Amino acid sequence: MTTVAHLTSVHRRTDTRIFLRQCRSLVEAGYEVVLVVADGHGDTSVDGVRIQDVGHGQGVRGRLGAALRVFRAARQLRPAIFHIHDPELLPVGWLLRRSGRIVVFDAHEDVPAQLITKPYLSPQRRRLLASVVRWVERFVCGRLDAVIAATPVIGRKFAAINPETVVVNNYPLVDELHLNTGSGSERASICYVGGISAIRGVRELVQAMEHVDTGVELSLIGSFESDGLQEEIQAMPGWARVRAYGFQPRDAVSDLLAQSFAGLVTFHPAPNHLEAQPNKMFEYMSAGVAVIASDFPAWRQIVEGTGSGICVDPTDPVAIATAINALAGDRRRAAAMGTSGRRLVETAHNWQLEREVLLGLYRSLVERSGLGSPHG
């Protein structure tokens, strides 16, 4: 049996892209999968994936230390393929490649574009860090065996660096979340799932709740970017209409989506958002939930172009509230949008299709290594 190793120093061991979709798909395809993490929760085995923990570190130094510990653990392994998931691990990938290993980098985000929008960094530091990361990406990724990109936009960027770039979209499994059925008259909630930050529109969401019809609550599912932001948001009048659940496991997320008639993804128009494909948008659709999304051209084509939801100005709380009220007052319309979104996931935007791209890349890399099929 062919062994492959996934390495991350910053993601949770239950990360949906890494563990739920990629690692489990590889196990199903006959690979022996090791997932090296740095979360401090210990070694274990889940769904056929062997999880090896190198210990948790806090802050910038802790993250750098975690990357070093991941490298030390990786050197003790002998997989056919190393699959790294963090920009912090690009130096690790370069060192492993120099030692003759087959290494793949999985680009989940356009990190330089993200850094440019970080509010806690000065403009000079943002530009400097973005330039450094951009240089590291070019230097290392051009020397790796392949790059996997989470969106077509990221794929085009890395294809110019490494011709062995494939796009594996982060679409949901068709049956990953409970499917909402019926008119949904009993569901009185809207929901937001994901990291909670200013640039992802949390201020406007909570402000919108001041204008939303009585009886509708906002379920916030995820962790705040900072304690300061959380304190600011909790002081807003609209917070009285919010239920904050913090980070939740997939089963709990699924249950909360089943209680919602709409899901929100109202990110601000930052450069890395305009052509992004938010994972949560498709997860809402998978659950049969209507989508209220930012009015970006690429998003409008997906959401309104398929009848799956409504697009709004993400910087206008009143516009967001108007969309919420429209669906709250017409649950049949909301349910029809949810059905359209579900159909889109079933036919085109699902992990079952994306996994074939991942497995195809792995087959070609294993053949290149001379190990033959996953089963050895």
Q: Which DSSP string corresponds to 178-238?
A: PPP-S--TT--EEEEES-B-TTTTHHHHHHHTTSSPTT-EEEEES-BS-HHHHHHHHTSGG
Residue 114 has a pLDDT of 83
Averaged pLDDT, 155-161: 97
- DSSP tag of 173: P
d(CA 182, CA 34): 42
pLDDT above 80: residue 219: yes
Assign 276 a pLDDT band (cuts: 50, 70, 90): confident
pLDDT at 182 over 60: no
- Using pLDDT thresholds of 50, 70 and 90, give the confidence band for residue 266: very high
Half-sphere exposure of 147 (CA within 13 A, CB side): 31
Question: What average pLDDT does this structure show over 292-317?
Answer: 97
Q: What is the pLDDT of residue 115?
A: 84
**Dist CA 247 CA 194 (whole Å):** 8
Residue 186's pLDDT is 63
Whether the per-residue pLDDT at 281 is higher than 80: the answer is yes
Q: At what angle do helices 59-75 and 90-98 cross, to 10 degrees?
A: 20
Is pLDDT larger for residue 89 or for residue 275?
Answer: 89
Per-residue pLDDT, 376: 54
Tell which wins on pLDDT, 120 or 260.
Answer: 260
Mean pLDDT for all residues in the chain: 93
pTM of the model as a whole? 0.90
Q: What is the pLDDT of residue 188?
A: 83
Question: What confidence tier does 278 reach under pLDDT thresholds 50, 70, 90?
Answer: confident
| Cβ–Cβ under 8 Å, residues 365 and 145 | yes
For a pLDDT cut of 90, what percent of the chain falls above it?
82
- If one counts every other C-beta atom within 10 angstroms of the C-beta of residue 175, the result is 11
List of E strands, 113-158: 146-149
CB 198 within 8 A of CB 226: no
What tokens appear for 322 in the block?
């108007």
Residue 371: predicted pLDDT: 63
Query: Which of 113, 73, 76 has its CA nearest to residue 89?
Result: 73
Classify 360 as helix, strand or coil. Answer: helix
Predicted local confidence at residue 372, as pLDDT: 59
Whether the per-residue pLDDT at 185 is higher than 80: the answer is: no
Tell me the domains of the chain and their CATH numbers.
Answer: 3-171+351-369 (3.40.50.2000), 189-347 (3.40.50.2000)
Look at the block and give the residue holding tokens 């609209």: 238
The residue ranking higher by pLDDT, 277 or 303, is: 303
Residues pairing with 346 in the sheet: none
Q: What is the pLDDT of residue 61?
A: 67
Please give the average per-residue pLDDT across 355-360, as a whole number. 98
Residue 290 in contact with residue 262, Cβ under 8 Å? yes
Confidence of residue 152 (pLDDT cuts 50, 70, 90): very high
Percent above pLDDT 70 for the chain: 95
